[in-house]
Every structure is written in C-alpha cells, then in structure tokens.
C-alpha cells in the first residue's frame, strides 16, 4: 500500500496519476519517492514489463544527459567483450524477471510471458539507462550498468526536491514539506510510462 502523500508526490513528478502503482521502491535523499514499483499488468490487463520506474524528474534529466553522451554504446561494446560483465547483466535480468513474477503472484495476476523483455534492454542490449538506474536504486547491487550510471550522475538531489512535497492528510499530524535529507542514495524504456 502506498500512502496518499507518496501517490501525490509521484503524480506531481509525472504530471499525471500513476498507473499500476504498487510501492515506493526507493526514496531520494530529499525524502520523496524517486523509484516506484508498478504491477506487471495495468488495471485494464495490459502487460507492463517495467517493474521499477524512475519518477524523479531531476534524476531522469541527469540520466537523459548521460544517455546522450554516448555511454550506452560504450556499455554495449563492453557487454560483447567482457564475459564476466555479460554474466552480471544476465543475473540482473534474471533478478528483474523473478521480482516481476513475484509481484504478479502477489497481485493475483498471471506472470508475463517468459519471452517478454525485462527492462532497459536486458539481458543482451543496453537500451534505457533510466530503467537500469531504477533497478539499481530499488535493488542495490543488482545491476552493473545501473550502478555505473549512478556513479556518473553526481548528486542530482543536491539543490532540493524535484517538486513540492504534498500536504499531509488532514488530522494525520504529519508536517508538510519534504522529509529531512539523507546522506545520499542507499548505494549510492524504453522506460515505459506507468
């Protein structure tokens, strides 16, 4: 269950209501969600393979700048030349699919077909750093290219929240505004739109 403040924050980040929202998978050091977990099927039954979705506009912009730098071509070339890296990327894919299948089971849904993509081009391509970064933030240590991208991004959160924090629910006793900043991220598609 996602609390109303987090739903409102994600809605502000995306500029619309999120679909298939299951959980906040990671929080930015500002306290707002920056990665959400979505259901493997949208409410209308449409398959949705992107389990972890990067919602923070500041992080998404930073990743977009990294993508335009040509780093994905370099990553793709290394994937072809480095068997150990290829194994780690395959393991990231397997982790993603297992987590997506578990989410489907928890939602009482049929798992997505085995031949359906996982995310970000895994396991054979490097196609969307947004998805790979979201995976690494949600599951620290899971995605080698997500980790590399995070290391290259810098502190996207340093100048404050990406959007105003939603007001607390009446009578909740919660203070409005963003939560206290933390030291940094926990570890340190084609991202489809939920």
Query: What residues have CB less than 8 Å from 53, skipping those under 6 apart?
Result: 35, 36, 37, 38, 131, 134, 191, 192, 193, 194
**96 falls within a domain:** yes
Q: Is residue 191 part of a domain?
A: no
Tokens 């739903």 sit on residue: 7
Residue-range definition of the domain harbouring residue 75: 4-153
**pLDDT tens-digit profile of 1-43?**
799 999 999 999 999 999 999 999 999 998 999 999 999 999 8
Count of residues making up the chain: 194
Q: How many CB atoms lie within 10 A of CB 30?
A: 22
Q: Cα separations (Å) of 180 from 27, 110, 183?
A: 12, 39, 10
* In-domain check, residue 58: yes
Domain total in the chain: 1
8 inside domain: yes
In a domain, 83, yes or no: yes
Query: Is residue 19 situated within a structural domain?
Result: yes
pLDDT in tens, 64-118: 999 999 999 999 999 999 999 999 999 999 999 999 999 999 999 999 998 888 8
* Distance in angstroms (rounded) separating the CA atoms of residues 2 and 24: 7
């Amino acid at each position: 269950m996602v609390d109303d403040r987090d739903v409102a924050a994600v809605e502000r980040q995306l500029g619309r209501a999120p679909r298939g929202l299951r959980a906040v998978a990671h929080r930015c050091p500002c306290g707002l969600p920056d990665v959400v977990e979505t259901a493997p099927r949208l409410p209308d039954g449409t398959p949705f393979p992107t389990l972890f979705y990067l919602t923070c506009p500041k992080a998404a912009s930073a990743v977009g700048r990294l993508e335009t730098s040509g780093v994905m071509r370099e990553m793709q070339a290394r994937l072809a030349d480095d068997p150990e890296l290829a194994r780690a990327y395959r393991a990231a894919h397997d982790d993603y699919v297992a987590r997506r299948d578990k989410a489907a089971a928890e939602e009482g849904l049929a798992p997505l077909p085995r031949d359906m993509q996982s995310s970000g081009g895994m396991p054979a391509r490097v196609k969307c750093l947004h998805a790979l970064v979201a995976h690494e933030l949600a599951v620290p240590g899971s995605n080698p290219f997500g980790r590399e991208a995070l290391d290259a991004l810098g502190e996207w959160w340093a100048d404050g929240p990406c959007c105003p924090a939603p007001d607390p629910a009446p009578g909740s006793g919660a203070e409005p505004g963003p939560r206290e900043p933390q030291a940094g991220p926990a570890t340190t598609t084609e991202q489809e739109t939920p």
